[in-house]
Amino acid sequence: MKNTINLTKIYFKESLSNSFNSTNKRSIVKNVLYFIFLFIFIALCLGYSLYNMAIAQMQLYGSASSIILIGLLMSTIMVIMMTAFDTQGYFYKSKDYEILQSLPIKTTSVVTAKYLSSYMMSFIYNAMIGIPTFVVYFYFEQISALAIVIAVFGLILLPAFTQLIGSLLAWVINIISSKMKNKNIMRSILTILFLILLYVFIFSADTTSFTDAFVGDIPLAIKIILPQIYFLYNSVINVSLLWFLAFVGISLLFAIISILVVSISYKKINSALNISIKSKRKGKIYYKKTTIFSTLLKKEAKTFVSSPVYLMNGIIGPILLIIVAIVIGSGMKGVSGLSLNIYAVITMSLLTLSIGMVPTTAVSISMEGSKLFNLKSLPIKYSTIILSKISFNLLLVFPFLLIAQIILWIINPFEIGVCVLLFFYYIISLILYVSFGMLMNLKMPRLKWSSETQAVKQGGSMLITMIVNLVLSFLPMIIYFLFSTQILSMGIVLYMGLMFMLNVVLAIIVISLLFTIGKKLFNKIQ
């Protein structure tokens, strides 16, 4: 127990100082405050949407109770989509595996500490939606001290389900990969395969479930697949200790199962994953002259495909682009007039959200680790290094963006001018998000990490980039709904043009900062 606590403390301390790129307390506080500000901002935006939703429910059914169900469902689905595949990075192929194995620490202690470390990230994402959900609910319904206590514990224990899914996926992917010759590639292939399966499962879910939830009729699927949410929902709306105990019980059960499953073959899997089998067939030594830029680009690509966590992080957005295009496209069939304008604005927001969800640039400096010092000692220009990282991200997303756009062109009834304008809007948004991610990673690089997940998922740069990109993505939608009358009178094409110009201006500012302040930040990294 003592080892678990000590190890957990170490991981938390490491996460805090490295996520916010400093060992200096004042600097950590400054960066933490910056992050909290963005967290509150996004929670307020979500809270506002939930508030409007709750008003509608109060008018229709006289109760806002199902807002909890909607909020918890949203948060669970989002966290599963965002973090389920990152869990493997905490448990498997972490840099501290060998040193920890050489110490007299039980495997379950190590696994528990790693579990809690990954739990923290799920908790942050969960809380981002969970907190505004409960605040809005308590605004409309009567508050009792017990209900607040239940809500607080509910938020703390809620990630247990997503952690269970993450742990099981991690275990399955890594136990299969560990038996293969090309372990890294297998890990990546299996991770993408499971990711697609999971996304297909989520997106093919019966959407009438949500409608049922609005009228308070909880679908059977939620009771069976997500009993944790069902129990928490009942314990809050009925202020019931019995339901709450059931919720605590099932959450703890999920946590225990997660830890036990990972612990079972932890040593065996990790040992196998750390063995590299050399190919018997010797390749040919070649001497080829290429540009530094293309070699750096190739290096970025190899690093990306060889790390399942990095790969997952960067591929979610492009895959979502295609899915969103299909879903929106099919929803637009036969739509015209005012509804078409709304669809156009929703398309703008959702596609840019997918584009900017997790830019690789937001972590590419962190992924270098101490290798960055090798790069810095070489006569390579700052601009070459940065442009190679940005170009890789652009090249990764662009084909998916093109496919998504073709899908929309085939299905949607927009005029060609609107289509072209939208396409340029996506391109400039992509450049803006990718450059902003780069700037943030230069501001908050996390070079010391014991697992790739820490570099990819626990960096302050990633969190801030995601939040800012989320806000920028939804900006056209928020402005449209706030000033719809004025926008409709000026015309939707002009509105889109203004949004495009806004992103052009922002992109110019960010790129300028990247080549001025960014260069200074790069030189300061030590």
456 within 8 A of 86, measured Cβ to Cβ: yes
8 within 8 A of 116, measured Cβ to Cβ: yes
SS3 content of the chain, % helix, strand, coil (to 5): 80, 0, 20
Is residue 181 close enough to count as binding another protein by CB under 8 A? no
Min. distance of Cβ 521 from another protein in angstroms? 12
Min. distance of Cβ 193 from another protein in angstroms? 21
Q: List the one residue from 2, 278, 280, 333 that touches another protein (CB under 8 A).
A: 278
- R_g (Cα) of the chain, nearest Å: 24
Is residue 280 close enough to count as binding another protein by CB under 8 A? no
Residue 33, CA distances (Å) to 30, 236, 423, 430, 460 in order: 5, 31, 36, 27, 11
147-154, Cβ contacts within 8 angstroms, sequence gap of 24 or more: 147/236, 147/239, 150/232, 150/235, 150/236, 150/239, 150/244, 151/236, 153/244, 153/248, 154/130, 154/232, 154/235, 154/236, 154/247
User: At 218, which amino acid appears?
Assistant: I
Q: List the one residue from 104, 283, 334, 337 that touches another protein (CB under 8 A).
A: 283
DSSP secondary structure letters along 281-298:
S----------HHHHHHH
Which helix H or strand E contains 7, and what residues bound it? Answer: helix 2-19
Question: How many of the chain's residues bind another protein (CB under 8 A)?
Answer: 37
Is residue 333 close enough to count as binding another protein by CB under 8 A? no
Is residue 208 close enough to count as binding another protein by CB under 8 A? no
Q: List the one residue from 215, 268, 302, 488 that touches another protein (CB under 8 A).
A: 302
Distance, in Å, from the CA atom of 251 to the CA atom of 164, rounded to the nearest integer, reads 10
Is residue 2 close enough to count as binding another protein by CB under 8 A? no
Q: Is 491 helix (H, G, I), strand (E, B) or coil?
A: coil
Residues in CB range of 187: below 8 A, 6 or more apart = 88, 173, 174, 177, 308
Is residue 9 close enough to count as binding another protein by CB under 8 A? no
Q: List the one residue from 295, 339, 383, 486 that touches another protein (CB under 8 A).
A: 295
DSSP tag of 278: P
Subset of 106-145 contacting another protein (CB under 8 A): none
Binding mask 379-418 for another protein (x = CB under 8 A): xxx-------------------------------------
Stretch that binds another protein, among 30-38, 272-280, 420-428, 479-487 (CB under 8 A): 272-280
Distance, in Å, from the CA atom of 362 to the CA atom of 472, rounded to the nearest integer, reads 16
Q: List the one residue from 101, 240, 306, 484 that touches another protein (CB under 8 A).
A: 306
Q: List the one residue from 52, 276, 330, 516 that touches another protein (CB under 8 A).
A: 276
Is residue 289 close enough to count as binding another protein by CB under 8 A? yes
Binding mask 338-377 for another protein (x = CB under 8 A): -------------------------------xxx-xx-xx
Min. distance of Cβ 59 from another protein in angstroms? 57
State which residue, 62 or 379, has the beta carbon closest to another protein: 379
Is residue 95 close enough to count as binding another protein by CB under 8 A? no
Is residue 512 close enough to count as binding another protein by CB under 8 A? no
Is residue 102 close enough to count as binding another protein by CB under 8 A? no
CB atoms within 10 A of CB 79: 27
- Residues of this chain that interact with another protein (CB under 8 A) are 24, 184, 276-279, 282-292, 295, 298-299, 302-303, 306, 369-371, 373-374, 376-381, 523-524, 526
